[in-house]
């Protein structure tokens, strides 16, 4: 007897294997171990018809795993669709669902699974809701309880209590006997989230992210597959866990770019969550105070429903936003904080309140320059400057992680004591804050200070909530999802930072990020205030933020996208050509462009060197395809690349719906 098995590796084909004598045919979805070349790897019995390979040439399945249920039919079909959409091999997508392989192959099999969240109590009473919250919760709960696909945007201002509202939908799904997945963009949010969930449902949920130990991943994976874990909170990869009976997906902060996977299988977790809901016939809830233009466009096109929370919970007002024109009121020489921001900080601290200084740039300075010869210290493996980290005395590449001791002399001309930091990072702003306010308790929060498991970040957040900190200096890790009762002032050190470059979403992302960080101010009785330091006070992003006029910003942005035939009114796909030999990479990219078939409604841009030309010793060229929404992009790219013959040393990757243009 023979069966088809899809190997959990980067292959698209399901191979035919023989069953050992006396073994019954395993059901589709059964996990197995198979020989593939010289290796033994995991695979899954697939729905493809077995090949007519002569019996004597067939290899036999090594082991059949019965300790967990087979991969469900809906999940197998989902894998097929994700592979088809992203143009990734099916086996590579399957590998993402077997993300804890020792749950299958470990010698010590867990006989009794202690689920991370064995019995969340949907009947446990939650906090009292406002009238607006109650109306929104009723709509979402009805969708979650209904055994049919729906996608609903929960659109509410910062501080509106969106989490409490969608918790009611989670309770409705649990009452119906289903599992729930809540996707969050960052580990920082998932750790802070656990206490709120436990308070509402009486136990901690299952947690899934890259910071978990192997033992934790194994236990959670098996508990999800067996149905013992009823709620999972996790990063984007949690979407590919083998749920026994998933009934609701919540995508919190749906606009966040962290939901896009930028290597391997290049998928967007929000979009794939919607696809999974549509295929399985269950509800999907998208949550944001700053929804993506794609989601807003889908609401306007009536593809998605929407509920709104226009006011902050408890009557708190949105903070006043003031633009500080840095051309008119610049900081003192050698400083980065304007007189207006310093005065506001002084008044805030005198009132016993907290201030947050936001700068989305880690380290001390983004560039180290030699004053004698002008040399800039660059990463040896990337086309990027080394970032100074003064506390550690090192220069670090934020793209590949290369780290070196800060030299005492210029590597090029040899001049001693000639190297100077250029520009500010959060460490430099903290240094300035301590100099201005020596009695204040200053805390720096960035991803490199949070700890791999988020433990240090959790302690820092608790210190802020306990008012053991006066001034917080933070990157985007502090921008969303946090509630600090005593925080009344937010100062954005460089509001223009995200507006440079050729990213089509630069304005949208800047508006989203600054609106989110502004939303940390004044979330309780004391009013909040936000100061945006900018050299572009007339920019429409700055004007919209100051006026709290989202609708005007969105209307203009959508109109410009429509005129330019850019998403959400068109489709993009990027082809990235990379390798260690720059000439071979360039030749391969140009050869690809030359054989690209002509197609009505399709534009091919490039090839051109990537914005980060060298990344981890890989030289990179990019081609960009743009077409109408209904153009068969995947079929076109598949046929085009099938005819290409790049050298074996050159890699060609496809990014459908790209979010990064670096």
Let me know if 53 is exposed, middle or buried by CB neighbors in 10 A (0-12, 13-18, 19+): middle
- Report, as an integer, the average pLDDT of 407-432: 95
Share of the chain above pLDDT 90, in %: 80
Q: What is the pLDDT of residues 136-163, one digit of tens each?
A: 999 999 999 999 999 999 999 988 899 9
* Confidence label for 115 from pLDDT (cuts 50, 70 and 90): very low
642 pLDDT above the threshold of 60: yes
| pLDDT band per the 50, 70, 90 thresholds, residue 106 | low
Between 175 and 114, residue with greater pLDDT: 175
Q: What's the whole-number average pLDDT of the chain?
A: 92
Is 70 exceeded by the pLDDT of residue 484?
Answer: yes
Q: Summarize pLDDT for 415-425 with one digit per residue, the tens.
A: 999 999 999 99
Residue 296 DSSP SS3:
helix
Q: Would the pLDDT of 117 be above 80?
A: no
Query: In the predicted model, what is the mean pLDDT of residues 156-179?
Result: 95
Question: In the predicted model, what is the mean pLDDT of residues 507-523?
Answer: 92
Identify the pLDDT of residue 477: 87
The torsion region of residue 312 among left (phi > 0), alpha (psi -120 to 50) and beta comes to beta
Give the predicted TM-score (pTM) of the model. 0.93
Q: Look at residue 626 and give its three-state secondary structure.
A: strand
Widest distance between CA atoms in the chain: 84
pLDDT of 481 reads: 73
Which pair of structure tokens corresponds to residue 30? 């059964």
Percent of the residues in the chain that have a pLDDT greater than 70, as a whole number: 96
pLDDT on residue 33: 94
Angle at the Cα of 393 (from 391 to 399), degrees rounded to 5? 90
The tens digit of pLDDT for each residue in 262-282 reads 999 999 999 999 999 999 999
**Does residue 102 surpass a pLDDT of 80?**
no
| pLDDT tens, position by position, 211-245 | 888 888 999 999 999 999 999 999 999 999 999 99
The pLDDT score that the predictor gives to residue 114 is: 45
Better-scored residue on pLDDT, 607 or 452: 607
Can you give the pLDDT at residue 500? 79
Q: Are 476 and 322 spatial neighbours (Cβ–Cβ below 8 Å)?
A: no
Name the pLDDT band for 502 (thresholds 50, 70, 90).
confident
Residue 81 pLDDT > 80, yes or no? yes
Q: What is the DSSP letter of 316?
A: P
Q: Is 238 helix (H, G, I), strand (E, B) or coil?
A: helix
Most confident of 46-50, 57-61, 574-578: 574-578
The mean pLDDT value for 483-500 works out to: 93
Q: How far apart are CA 15 and CA 7, in angstroms?
A: 8
Which of 36-40, 363-367, 504-508, 520-524 has the weakest average pLDDT? 520-524
Omega before 15 within 30 of 0, i.e. cis: no
Distances (CA, A) of 331 to 62, 474, 487, 658: 70, 20, 24, 38
- How far is it, in rounded angstroms, from Cα 326 to Cα 537? 9
Q: Given this model, what pLDDT does residue 468 score? A: 95
Contact status, residue 418 vs residue 372, Cβ threshold 8 Å? yes
Mean pLDDT of 370-375: 96
More confident residue, 210 or 566: 566
Q: What is the pLDDT of residue 383?
A: 96
pLDDT band at 110 (very low <50, low <70, confident <90, very high): very low
Burial of 75 (0-12, 13-18, 19+ CB in 10 A): buried
Check whether 107 has a pLDDT greater than 70: no
Output the pLDDT for position 112. 42
Choice among 17-26, 130-139, 325-334, 551-560 with the minimum mean pLDDT: 17-26
Around 370, how many Cα atoms within 13 Å sit in the side-chain half-sphere?
Answer: 18
Q: Reply yes or no on whether the pLDDT at 437 is more than 50.
A: yes
User: Which of the two residues, 79 and 313, has the higher pLDDT score?
Assistant: 79
Contact status, residue 461 vs residue 489, Cβ threshold 8 Å: no
Does pLDDT of 454 surpass 70? no
How far, in whole angstroms, is CA 363 from its chain's centroid? Answer: 21
Q: Measured between alpha carbons, how far is 658 from 662 in angstroms, rounded to an integer?
A: 10
According to the model, what pLDDT value does residue 20 have?
Answer: 83
Q: Measured on CA atoms in the order 493, 495, 496, 498, is the torsion positive or negative?
A: positive
Mean pLDDT of 482-497: 93
Domains in the chain (CATH in brackets) are 2-97 (3.40.1440.60), 131-314 (3.40.50.300), 316-361+424-558 (3.40.50.300), 570-656 (3.30.70.600)
* Residue 56 in this model has a pLDDT that exceeds 60: yes
């Amino acid at each position: 007897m023979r069966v088809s098995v899809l190997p959990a590796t980067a292959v698209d084909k399901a191979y035919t294997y023989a069953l050992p004598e006396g073994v019954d045919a395993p059901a589709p979805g059964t996990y197995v171990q198979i020989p593939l070349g010289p290796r033994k790897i995991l695979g899954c019995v697939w729905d493809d018809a077995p090949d007519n390979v002569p019996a004597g040439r067939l290899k036999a399945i090594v082991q059949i795993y019965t300790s967990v249920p087979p991969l469900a039919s809906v999940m197998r079909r989902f894998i097929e669709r994700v592979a088809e959409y992203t143009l990734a091999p099916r086996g590579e997508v399957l590998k993402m669902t077997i993300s804890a392989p020792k749950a299958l192959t470990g010698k010590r099999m867990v006989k009794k699974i202690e689920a991370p969240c064995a019995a969340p109590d949907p009947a446990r009473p939650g906090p009292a809701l406002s009238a607006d919250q109650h109306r929104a919760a009723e709509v979402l709960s009805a969708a979650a309880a209904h055994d049919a696909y729906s996608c609903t945007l929960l659109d509410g201002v910062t501080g509106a209590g969106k989490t409490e509202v969608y918790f009611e939908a989670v309770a409705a799904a649990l009452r119906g006997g289903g599992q729930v997945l809540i996707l969050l963009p960052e580990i920082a949010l998932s750790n802070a989230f656990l206490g709120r969930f436990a308070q509402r449902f009486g136990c901690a949920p299952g947690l899934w992210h890259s910071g978990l130990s192997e033992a934790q991943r194994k236990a959670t994976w098996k508990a999800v597959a067996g149905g013992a874990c009823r709620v999972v909170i996790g990063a984007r990869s949690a979407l590919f866990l083998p749920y026994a009976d998933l009934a609701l997906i919540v995508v919190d902060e749906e606009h966040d770019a962290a939901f896009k996977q930028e290597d391997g299988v290049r998928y967007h977790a929000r979009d794939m969550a919607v696809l999974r809901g549509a295929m399985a016939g269950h509800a999907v809830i998208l949550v944001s105070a700053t929804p993506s233009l794609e989601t807003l466009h889908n609401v306007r096109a009536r593809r998605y429903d929407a509920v709104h929370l226009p006011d902050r919970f408890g009557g708190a007002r949105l903070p006043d936003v003031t633009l500080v024109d840095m051309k008119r009121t610049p900081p003192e020489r050698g400083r980065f904080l304007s007189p207006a921001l310093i005065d506001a900080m002084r008044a805030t601290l005198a009132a016993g309140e907290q201030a947050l200084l936001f700068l989305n740039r880690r380290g001390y300075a983004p560039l180290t320059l030699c004053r004698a010869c002008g040399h800039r210290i660059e990463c040896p493996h990337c086309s990027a400057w080394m970032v100074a980290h003064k506390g550690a005395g090192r220069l670090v590449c934020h793209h590949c992680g290369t780290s070196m001791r800060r030299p005492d002399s210029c590597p090029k001309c040899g001049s001693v004591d000639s190297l100077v930091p250029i520009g500010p990072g959060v460490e430099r702003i903290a240094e300035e804050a301590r100099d201005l306010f020596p009695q204040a308790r200053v805390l720096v929060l960035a991803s490199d200070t949070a700890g791999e498991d988020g433990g240090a970040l959790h302690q820092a957040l608790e210190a802020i909530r306990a008012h053991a900190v006066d001034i917080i200096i933070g990157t985007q890790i502090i921008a969303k999802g946090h509630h600090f009762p005593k925080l009344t002032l937010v100062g954005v050190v460089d509001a223009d930072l995200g507006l440079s470059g050729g990213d089509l979403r630069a304005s949208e992302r800047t508006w989203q990020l600054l609106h989110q960080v502004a939303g940390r101010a004044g979330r309780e009785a004391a009013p909040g205030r936000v100061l945006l330091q900018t050299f572009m006070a007339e920019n429409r992003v700055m004007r919209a933020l100051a006026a709290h006029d989202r609708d005007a910003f969105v209307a203009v942005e959508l109109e410009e996208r429509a005129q330019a035939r850019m998403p959400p009114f068109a489709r993009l796909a990027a082809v990235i050509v990379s390798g260690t030999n720059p000439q071979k990479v360039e030749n391969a990219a140009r050869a690809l462009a030359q054989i690209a078939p002509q197609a009505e409604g399709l534009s091919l841009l490039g090839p051109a060197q990537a914005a980060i030309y060298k990344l981890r010793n890989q030289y990179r060229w990019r081609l960009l395809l743009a077409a109408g929404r209904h153009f068969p992009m995947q079929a076109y790219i598949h046929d085009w690349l099938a005819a290409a013959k790049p050298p074996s040393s050159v890699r060609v990757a496809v990014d459908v719906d790209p979010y990064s243009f670096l």
